[in-house]
Amino acid sequence: MIIPTIETEKLSLVPPTLEAFCVYEGFYTDAEASKAYGGPITTEQVWARLKADIGSWYMLGFGVWVIQRKSDNNYIGTCGFWQGKEWPKELTWWVAPQGRGQGVATEASNAALLHAYNEFGWDTVETYMNDDNRAARALVEKLGGKKVKRAVFTDGLSRDIYQIPKPGL
């Protein structure tokens, strides 16, 4: 499988590779940065997370891209699509602290959404987050997301599920 690269004005969304391990490790071992994403986790768990992100493309035909800032070629997060076993498929992202507050998540998410609708041919894109993740909820609403339902997930938590339209509609 060839994983595409997506170019935006300021970012490149590139396939996950071992080169991205440092940004994964920096993010997931930082308790404050990763608290909404199951962190902090150990370096071995970070390694498994990166391998899962690489493998998702081959198992499911979609996954996350690593966000690379064009101005300095630094990796600053991920954005794309994730699906746990018996979980709904979702738009997801995380941005390392040094990339926050710069519109990175918005720009990357819009690019990923366009790819899902135009290249994957998906009819809908959904996302969900823990109730206390205000930043994620604000981004989803900025992207035009509308709450469509609430569901109980296999981890026992209830979450709002948002449907996000194709950008520009």
Q: What is the 3-state secondary structure (H, E, C) of the chain?
A: CCCCCEECCCEEEECCCHHHHHHHHHHHCCHHHHHHHCCCCCHHHHHHHHHHHHHHHHHHCCCEEEEEECCCCCEEEEEEEECCCCCCCEEEEEECHHHCCCCHHHHHHHHHHHHHHHCCCCCCEEEEECCCCHHHHHHHHHCCCEEEEEEECCCCCEEEEEEECCCCC
Strands 11-14, 125-129: pairing is: unpaired
pLDDT value at position 169? 62
pLDDT above 70: percentage of residues in the chain: 99
pLDDT digits (tens, 9 = 90+) for 76-124: 999 999 999 999 999 999 999 999 999 999 999 999 999 999 999 999 9
Q: Which CATH class is domain 6-164?
A: alpha beta
The C-alpha atoms of residue 15 and residue 2 are separated, in whole angstroms, by 9
d(CA 40, CA 124): 32
pTM of the model: 0.96
Q: What's the confidence (pLDDT) of residue 168?
A: 85
Query: What local confidence, expressed as pLDDT, does residue 67 receive?
Result: 98
Q: How many residues does the chain have?
A: 169
Mean pLDDT to the nearest integer, 52-65: 98
Tokens (6 digits) for 152: 């109980």
